Homo-oligomer: A and B are copies of this chain.
Amino acid sequence: MAGLRERKKQRTRDALVRAANELFVSRGYERTTVDDIAAVADVSQRTFFRYFAGKEEVAFAIDVMIQERYVESLKARPPHERPITALRNAVEDSWNSIGEAVARIVPLDLHMRMWHLIETTPALTAVQMRNAMDMEHRLALIIAEREGLDVRADPRPQVLVASFSATMRTAMQSWGQGQDLTVQGAREGARGYLEALSPALFDAWRPAAEEAPPRQRCVRRWT
C-alpha cells in the first residue's frame, strides 16, 4: 500500500476520468469544457492539465489501460503459436479480464457508451486511429521478436499486424453500429471478421480461372 500522497493522486485521477466520461456521454465531447470536468471532480482547471496533457487524453484513459492489457496478453502467449494465432488468442484472453478492470474505474455500460461516442466524434476517432497505429508498431515488434526477425528488414510482421488490427477495428465498428452492445456480441462479431480475413485476401470470391494468377515469388525473398 503506497503512501497517502500516491493514493490521493490516484483518487483525483479516477475522479477526473469518471467525471469526464459522464459529461462526454451525457452532453457530447465538444459541448463539454475542461472547466466542467474539473468542477465535477472538484479540482481547478490547472490541476486537470497536470493529470492529462489535453482534453482528448482523458477520453482515452480507459482505452489505454485496455491496450496495455492486450499487449501483456500477447507477450504471454506460448511461443509455439503462429503469429496470427497468438494475436487472435490474445484477444480472447484479454477480453476475459478486461471487464472487471474497467469496472473498477467506471461502470461498464458507461464505457460502452463512451466507446460509441468515440466512434461518432470525428476529433476522437482521429486520435483513436493514431493510438491504434502506435500499438501496431508495438505489436509488430513483439511478433518480430517471437519469430526472430528484424522488423526493419522484413515487412511481414508489420503487414500482418496492420491487417489484423484493421480487421478487428472493422469488426468493432460494425458491432458498434448494431444494437447488440454486449461484450459477447463483440466477441462473436470479431471471430466472424477474423475468419473472413484470409479468404478475403485469397480472393476466393469467384472462380479463380477468370484471371491469370499473380506471381507470388515473394516468399523466397525472405527465407
A residues contacting B by CB (< 8 A) are: 80-85, 122, 125-127, 129-130, 132-133, 147, 152, 155-160, 162-163, 165-167, 169-171, 174, 192-193, 195-206, 210-211, 214, 216-219, 222
Task: Given A130-B129, A167-B162, decide whether A219 and B204 contact each other with a Cβ distance below 8 A.
Answer: yes
Closest 9 CB pairs of A and B: A129-B129, A162-B166, A195-B218, A163-B163, A126-B130, A126-B126, A160-B200, A166-B166, A156-B200
Which residue of B130, B201, B222 is within 8 Å of A198 (Cβ)?
A: B201
Separation of A218 and B193 alpha carbons in the complex (Å): 9
Instruction: Name the B residues within 8 Å of A80 (CB-CB).
Output: 210-211
- Cβ–Cβ contact B199 & A156, under 8 A: yes
Partner of A205, one of B125, B127, B156, B216: B156
Task: Please state if B159 and A162 are interface contacts (CB–CB under 8 Å).
Answer: no
Looking at chain A's contact residues, the main secondary structure is: helix
Q: Are B82 and A196 in contact (CB under 8 A)?
A: no
30 A–B contacts from the bound complex (CB under 8 Å): A80-B210, A80-B211, A82-B205, A82-B206, A82-B210, A83-B205, A125-B130, A126-B129, A129-B133, A147-B205, A152-B174, A155-B170, A155-B171, A155-B200, A156-B199, A156-B200, A159-B193, A160-B201, A162-B163, A162-B166, A162-B170, A163-B166, A163-B167, A163-B197, A163-B200, A195-B216, A197-B201, A198-B202, A198-B216, A199-B216
